[in-house]
Amino acid sequence: MMLDDLSALGERLATVYAQYAAAREAQLPARVRTALARVDAEYRAQWEPLQATMDQVEGCIKQAVLERGASVKGAALHAIYVTGRVFWDSTYLDIYAASHPEIQPARKEGQPSVSLRKVSA
């Protein structure tokens, strides 16, 4: 089955990436690995609080735009307000259309689509 083939390819790719990372790491002298770990820690201490602040500000912006009900444009970012989608109970409408065929021209059906998801264990 092609899905199983695709899954196997993904697993193989992950294995190759892991082997590459291990081989690359093995080529680094211990002193370099130690120095890189210090650099990682130093910069992580800087980017983690920044990311947390960005996440908080983003949440505040989204809430403000929702309350305003309109998009807001800055110099570099645009917070775009999107109205809620309208959904209809198609089962109910199909029953209704059976006795009211005049509404059939209003029925539109989009193209099917496919999404791939990992099977949970």
Tell me the per-residue pLDDT of 2-44, one tens digit each, with 9 for 90 and over.
899 999 999 999 999 999 999 999 999 999 999 999 999 999 9
How many domains, in total, are found in the chain?
1
In the block, residue with structure tokens 């059906």: 109
Angle at 51 between CA 20 and CA 42, to 5 degrees: 60
Q: pTM score, two decimals?
A: 0.66
Query: Has residue 111 been placed in a domain?
Result: no
Query: Has residue 121 been placed in a domain?
Result: no
Query: Predicted confidence band at 88 (pLDDT cuts at 50, 70, 90)?
Result: confident
Query: Has residue 118 been placed in a domain?
Result: no
Question: Which has the closest alpha carbon to 10: 93, 83, 118, 106?
Answer: 118
Query: Has residue 81 been placed in a domain?
Result: yes
- Domain ranges, residue 38: 2-106
For the purposes of burial, counting CB atoms within 10 Å of the CB of 61, is it exposed (0-12), middle (13-18) or buried (19 or more)?
A: middle
Task: State the Cα–Cα distance between residues 88 and 3, nearest whole angstrom.
Answer: 33
Query: Has residue 119 been placed in a domain?
Result: no
Query: Has residue 72 been placed in a domain?
Result: yes
